[in-house]
Amino acid sequence: MRKSAWVLVGIAATLSAQGQEQKRQPPPDFTSGYQLPSPTTPVPKDALFAWIDVGVLLVALVLAAWIVLCRRSRAWLLVLTGFCAAYFGFYRLGCVCSVGSLQNVALALADPSYRLSVSVAAFFLLPLLFALFYGRVFCSGVCPLGAVQELVLIRPIRIPEWVAGPLGLVPFLYLGLAVLYASAGAGFVVCRYDPFIGLYRLGSSPLMAWVTGLFLAASLFVGRPYCRFLCPYGALLRVASWFASKPARIAPAACISCHLCARECPYGAILPPSPERELVPMHELRSSLARRLGATVPLILLLAALGWFAGPAMARVHPKVALAAELALSRAQPDAPKSLAVEAHLRLGRSDEEVWREAATILKSFRLGAALFGAWAGLVVSAYTISLALRRRRREYVAEPGTCLACARCFASCPVLPQGDRP
Amino acid sequence: MNAYRLLCRLRLVLAISSAVVLGLLTWNLVQSRAYDPLEATRLEQMQLRLAANPKDEALRNELRALDRQVRERHFHHRRVALRGLALLAVLASLLVALHAGAETLRPRAFTPEPDAASLLAESRARAARGAYLLALALAGILVVLATIGRHDPLAQYARAGMRPEAPGTPDRAPITPDEPIGQATLPPADPTVLGPPPLVGSLPVSPPATRLEPVAPPPAGARNPSTPERPSPGQRSLPSLEPCPPAGLEAEWPRFRGPAGNGVATATPPLPGRGLKVLWKVALPLPGWNSPIVVKGRVLLAMADPSRREVAAFDAKSGDALWRTPIAYKEPPPKVSQDTGYAPSTMASDGQRAYAIFPDGLLAGLDLNGGVLWTRSFGPLENQYGHASSLLCHGENVIVQLDQGSDPEERKSRLLCVEGATGKTVWQAERAVSASWATPVLVRVGGRELLVAIAPPLICAYDPRSGEEVWRVSGLGGEPAPCPTFDQHRVYAGNLGSYLFAIDPSGTGDLTRTGVLWDTSDYLPDIVSPLAFRDSVFLIGPDGTLACLRATDGTLAWEHRIGPTKASPTAVGDSVWLITDSGRLLAIVPGSAYRELGAMELGEVVRASPAFVGDRVYVRGQDHLFCLGP
């Protein structure tokens, strides 16, 4: 078994190494009169495809919910996962996807002149809507990014809660960052640094090819590292799933607390029943709750203040700010080679002041945005720590709706039979 | 043997196979490094030797052979890598599937968890510390970023740029804006004519033309709609603009886009699909993407291939070929793109003579019976796709826009006025612009005629009698092929990769700050010229989307996809006529929503803009000339 694992690690590394071969070759130096063909503008596919995508998404979500909740079959779910990876991933090349759509929505909310297409809005809303009823069925077999990780997970390693819990906050921070950059018009960072898109498009930059390789290698042993510890849309689904009215239930009848399901879950999403006698005394819980509540406001203010000061540096990702920075550098060092953006600026005949004025406006708005991001981070951390100090009673093994990815592994391990199947 | 063991053995076989393929791929990768065309040092050395001794034919042949060998081996390794990767992907998929199956069947011993609840409680106690550590790490990152931002020279410039008045020297900037940017190479501007003086740091803009008076450099701002200096549409009274068609040719089609060059026709043909039919159709002997012109009962076209340049005339009523005149030339055929071809420029006529220009810079004057009066060569022209600007007449003179080169500062571009009878230059204006494929347009503003020509980075208006620059707007980018146009109050110019500007043309000097009424970067055309008609501006983008913008503020009224189109739209009566690349001719209502009045198919690729005269429409297809009418 370990040999197979190492072979797969090697495959992942080789794939990422081959990704470096994507660099373009220069055209040959023809002197024979050969004319290079003119580039043509490809005609975009008809808008009908956008509606087909929405239709496929809707059908896939319905199927996923039915398989998880009614059929309770992992094999069927794997078939659906394979189809969604093939359609949304390889055929539609991973775009539009629900994960990236949150940036379109953020930009549309921030910039009234940006028009949000109905299909993108549907990709954003439909999985959230299903999560409100059935939990994260989108993650279970529809998301093409999750599909890759799900299919290569061969030997899951259990990550302890004290590591997985704090790491699970990273998606919320990434969500804040993605919203900040998208709404400021600085670009869609989630799409730009999507680790699996290169796999579906069979090509990416060398850096992202290595990132893809690393994520694939990690996915062999860690259950869905991207979905659990990075995906910003997963953060939204997690929140929506907390309110799910009909989430997946592990045992089809009364749970016998055999612990088999918890051992089978690679995501650490299954929580054991509460002990008869509380392990932590109530007064300790109360005091830690008071401490954490007291730390909330200072933490939010501290991170907001730091965000305010860090805003200008964070804005350097914005193309207009990057141009202003390169322009400043080229003005300071006139003999240094100029970037393409600076050359384009010079050819356009715009004044430097106009560029700096635009950059200054963006820097100013980024200060506020980064401060809000800092406050958001403080709020997320505080809310998590407070939730740890709250006591909830569980009578049986339950899948925590926010972290359960509805992968259907636990169903097969549960020895409890449905009432109709009992002898 | 049970199923679990069988799967385990198959899994082992697949793992070994995958490892073998993996090893071969790695070997192939190592080998391919030796044949990377980008890192072939021997090839590079030979290129240097050849550069030093360009007449060494043996070395040249050796270099070509080596280049071919390196490329062939490189692409061979690449093919092997791709096939190997495909095989590896299949093997890996099978391996994963088999592994999943084996894991499902693996017999498991039931071992109860010692105390899951206490383990969870302990782990959660540590999780809070982990969360605070995460917050601490984030705080550390923000502190680092704040420190970087604090010492960023950009912040100094940004603070300077934010001041409402001209920015001065930043307080303690390591780079002082005055130092490198204040190299004002420009003549001082006249503030009474040209508006506010240039801000410190304005880019040097070269004096525009040989005969021009000094014009101030473009000041800052005015391109962004939110720029406070921009007057709102309601705050100013706009001038009245009038077309300037050649005298006596108001009802004819003497140039690209009609008598006034703005795509507005006086013809009254029946609508397509509602009485419009093909009256005649003749085959064209040579290719060319230029549009037909119609003068004195003749349909005139330019045609060319790499070895021939010709002008042909057809009878407008019957389609009979009247004459074909070859134009003698000496220049070798220029390098042109397929979309440009060897005859992209539309002819022009003043009613007595006709004029044609070809991408090699060959300009010819002919009488209307096909006799060549004179030819002039302005070539070779430095143009990456091939020169494609069309001609127009002003009185008995011909206006020739010869913008070329990639660097405006090289001053290779010119705007010429040539005497129609002799071909001699009447005036010439040097232009500090790069190559353009657009055609100028003539418009009358308050009794003053203006010749508007565009090329990066300028939209310029000239006096067509003297070539003196009247005003300019800077900020144009991209590769302009769409022609400038106008309606009753505004001049419009712009293209893909830049902006579409709506300009009040009544001013003088630099209007970048004061004359731009609005601009937009959406729905910009790549090839197709805009049509301004009935308080709307119609744009056709490279993806075939027809957009209707409101002329007052540039906002979108509606959009509709009509398919790939190169021909420019024309206003005919109360409708707007379009023709797509596939030959679908359609008429729409210029209203608040897209509505087709009628359509018909010509069954041939069409890229030229039709000509409208009387009740007839003349369409140049890829292989035929069509005449449509009642």
Answer whether B375 touches A (CB < 8 Å).
Answer: no
pLDDT classification of A384: cutoffs 50, 70, 90? very high
Rounded to a whole number, what is the distance in angstroms from the first to the last CA of chain B? 86
B239 and B505 in contact (C-beta within 8 Å)?
yes
**Domain assignment of residue A276, yes or no:** no
Distance CA B176, CA B182 (A): 10
Average pLDDT, chain A: 86
- DSSP letter (8 states) at residue B363: E
Strands B536-540 and B531-533: antiparallel
In this complex, which of A151, A161, A306 lies closest to B142 when CB atoms are compared?
A306
Cβ B425 vs Cβ B415: under 8 Å = no
Rounded to whole angstroms, the Cα distance separating A64 from A133 reads: 13
Give B111's pLDDT tier (boundaries 50, 70, 90). Answer: low
pLDDT value of residue B220: 35
Q: Is the pLDDT of residue A301 over 90?
A: yes
The Cα of B445 is separated from the nearest Cα of chain A by a number of Å equal to 26
In a domain, A44, yes or no: no
**Is the same domain home to A255 and A289?**
no
Whether residue A251 is found in the same domain as residue A316: no
Q: What's the rounded Cα separation, in Å, for the pair A241 and A114?
A: 29
Among partner residues A35, A151, A279, which is closest to B335 by beta-carbon distance? A35
B433 closest CA partner among B406, B452, B451: B406
Section A147-166 average pLDDT: 88
Contact list in A for residue B113 (CB cut-off 8 A) is 259, 262-263, 272
Query: Which B residues, 36 through 65, put their C-beta within 8 Å of a C-beta on chain A?
Result: 37-38
Most B CBs within 10 Å: which of A32, A43, A354, as the mutation test of the B interface? A354
Whether residue A267 sits in one domain with residue A124? yes
* Residue B516 vs residues A22, A348, B352, B463, B499: alpha-carbon distances, Å: 44, 16, 38, 20, 11
Q: How far apart are CA B433 and CA B399, in angstroms?
A: 17
For chain A, say whether B138 makes contact (Cβ under 8 Å). Answer: yes
How would you classify the pairing of strands B536-540 and A270-271? Answer: unpaired
The answer to the question of residue A46 being in a domain is no
Give the distance from residue A370's alpha carbon to the nearest chain B alpha carbon, in angstroms.
9
**A303 → closest Cβ in B78, B138, B149:** B138
Three-state secondary structure string covering A32-101 = CCCCCCCCCCCCCCCCHHHHHHHHHHHHHHHHHHHHHHHHCCHHHHHHHHHHHHHHHHHHCCCCCCHHHH
* A221 and A147 in a common domain: yes
Residues A103 and A153 in one domain: yes
Per the listing, tokens 């146009």 go with B485
Instruction: Tell me: pLDDT of B99 over 90.
Output: no
The percent helix, strand, coil of chain B (3-state, each to 5) is 25, 30, 45
At B52 the pLDDT is 85
Residue A293 located in a structural domain: yes
Report the distance separating Cα A336 and Cα A327, nearest Å.
11
Count Cβ–Cβ pairs < 8 Å, chain A vs chain B. Answer: 288
Cα–Cα distance measured from residue B318 to residue B282, given in angstroms and rounded to the nearest whole number? 10
pLDDT above 70: percentage of residues in chain A? 87
The arithmetic mean of pLDDT across residues A218-232, rounded, is 93
Position A175 pLDDT exceeds 80: yes
Using a CB-CB cut-off of 8 Å, the residues of chain A touching B498 are 348
Interface probe, candidates A6, A7, A49, chain B, greatest B C-beta count within 10 A: A7
- Asked if B554 has any chain A CB less than 8 Å from its own CB, the reply is no
Are residues A279 and B118, on separate chains, in Cβ contact within 8 Å? yes
* pLDDT at position A219 over 50: yes
Contacts of B103 in chain A (CB under 8 A): 154
Of B15, B139, B175, the CB nearest to A302: B139
Confidence category of residue A59, pLDDT binned at 50, 70, 90: very high
CB under 8 A, 24+ apart: contacts of B591-597 = B592/B557, B592/B558, B593/B558, B594/B546, B594/B548, B594/B558, B594/B559, B594/B560, B597/B271, B597/B274
Between chains, do B338 and A37 touch, taking CB under 8 Å as contact? yes
- Is the residue at A244 inside a domain? yes
What type of residue sits at position A379? Answer: L
Determine the pLDDT at residue B237.
80
Contacts of B48 in chain A (CB under 8 A): none
Contact B95 A4 (CB under 8 A): yes
Task: State whether A162 and A95 are in the same domain.
Answer: yes
Domain check: are A347 and A374 in the same one?
yes
Residue ranges of alpha helices (H) inside B363-448 are none
Facing B201 at nearest CB: one of A311, A344, A351: A351
pLDDT digit string, tens, across residues A123-133: 999 999 999 99
Lowest mean pLDDT among A11-20, B37-46, B301-310, B574-583: A11-20
Q: In A, which residues are within 8 Å of B146 by CB distance?
A: 306, 309-310, 313
Token pair 């070895």: residue: B307
Residues of A with Cβ-Cβ distance to B96 under 8 angstroms: 8, 151-152, 154
Higher-pLDDT residue of B328, A332: B328
pLDDT digits (tens, 9 = 90+) for B567-624: 999 999 889 999 999 999 999 988 888 888 899 999 899 999 999 999 999 999 999 9
Query: B473 with B503: CB under 8 angstroms?
Result: yes
Q: Which residues of B touch A7 (CB under 8 A)?
A: 15, 18-19, 22, 95
Question: In Å, what is the CA distance from B263 to each residue of B11, B260, B361, B379, B531?
Answer: 71, 7, 26, 30, 6
Higher pLDDT among residues A48 and B207, named by residue: A48
Q: Does B370 touch chain A (CB under 8 A)?
A: no
ipTM: 0.84
Averaged pLDDT, A349-377: 88
CA A358 to CA B354: how far, in whole Å?
A: 50
Per the prediction, chain B carries an average pLDDT of 82
A37 contacts B526? CB cut-off 8 A: no
Decide if B531 contacts B578 (C-beta within 8 A). Answer: no
Which residue in A14, A313, A385 is closest to B148 by CB distance? A313
Cβ–Cβ contact B181 with A under 8 A: yes
Residue B442 φ/ψ, nearest 5 degrees: -105, 135
* A162 & A82 share domain: yes
Q: What is the pLDDT of residue B192?
A: 30
The shortest CB-CB distance from A388 to any of B67, B74, B124 is to B124
d(CA A191, CA B321): 59
In-domain check, residue A191 = yes
Cα–Cα–Cα angle for B5, B11, B14, rounded to 5 degrees: 150
Who wins on pLDDT, B333 or A384?
A384
Maximal C-alpha separation, chain A: 89
Count the Cβ atoms, other than its own, within 10 Å of residue B5.
Answer: 11
pLDDT number for residue B259? 93
User: What is the percent of chain B with per-residue pLDDT over 70, rounded to a whole number?
Assistant: 84
Helix axes A232-242, A98-110, angle to 10 degrees: 90
User: Minimum mean pLDDT among A27-41, A156-170, A401-415, B544-558: which range?
Assistant: A27-41
Please state the φ and ψ torsions of residue B536, each to the nearest 5 degrees.
Answer: -135, 155
Asked whether the beta carbons of residue A388 and residue B457 sit closer than 8 angstroms, the reply is no
- The type of residue at A315 is A
Q: From the CA of A423, how many Å to the nearest CA of chain B? A: 22
Which is more confidently placed, B397 or B173?
Answer: B397
Domain range for A292 is: 282-388
Contact B134 A170 (CB under 8 A): yes
B474 shares contact with chain A (CB less than 8 Å): yes
Residues written for chain B: 630
**Cβ B95–A354 below 8 Å, yes or no?**
no
For residues B599 and B275, give the distance between their C-alpha atoms in angstroms, rounded to a whole number.
11
In terms of domains, do A172 and A288 share one? Answer: no
Chain B residues in contact with A23 by the CB 8 A cut-off are 38
Q: Are residues A294 and A242 in the same domain?
A: no
Task: Measure CB to CB from residue A351 to each of B29, B134, B203 and give the nearest one.
Answer: B203
- CB-nearest to B95 from A8, A23, A349 is A8
Q: Label the pairing between strands B509-510 and B469-474.
A: parallel
In chain A the first and final C-alpha atoms are separated, in Å, by 38
Residue A214 in any domain: the answer is yes
Q: Select the residue of A160, A273, A312 nearest B123 (Cβ to Cβ).
A: A160
pLDDT score at B155: 64
> Is the CB of residue B339 less than 8 Å from the CB of residue A38?
yes
Residue A87 lies in a domain: yes
Residue A154 and residue A207 in one domain: yes
- Rounded to whole angstroms, the Cα distance separating A97 from A145 reads 9
pLDDT value for B124:
78
pLDDT > 90: percent of chain B: 43
Find which of B138, B338, B495 to mutate to test the A interface (most A CBs within 10 Å of its CB). B138
Domain count, chain A: 2
Contact in structure between B451 and B440 (CB atoms under 8 Å): yes
Tell me what pLDDT residue B329 has.
Answer: 80
Of A285-289, A392-396, B521-525, B580-584, which one has max mean pLDDT?
B580-584
Predicted confidence (pLDDT) at residue B183 exceeds the cutoff of 50:
no
Nearest-Cα distance to chain A for B427, in Å, is 26
Cβ contact A352–B142 (<8 Å): no
> Residues A131, A186: one domain?
yes
Interatomic CA distance for residues A334 and A390, integer angstroms: 61
pLDDT band of residue B406 (cuts 50, 70, 90) is confident
Peptide bond between residue A96 and the one before it cis (omega within 30 degrees of 0) = yes
Distance CA A224, CA A174 (A): 17
Distance from CA of B263 to the nearest CA of A (A): 25
Residue-level pLDDT at B235: 58
Residues pairing with B425 in the sheet: B418
Q: Which pLDDT score is estimated for B153?
A: 65
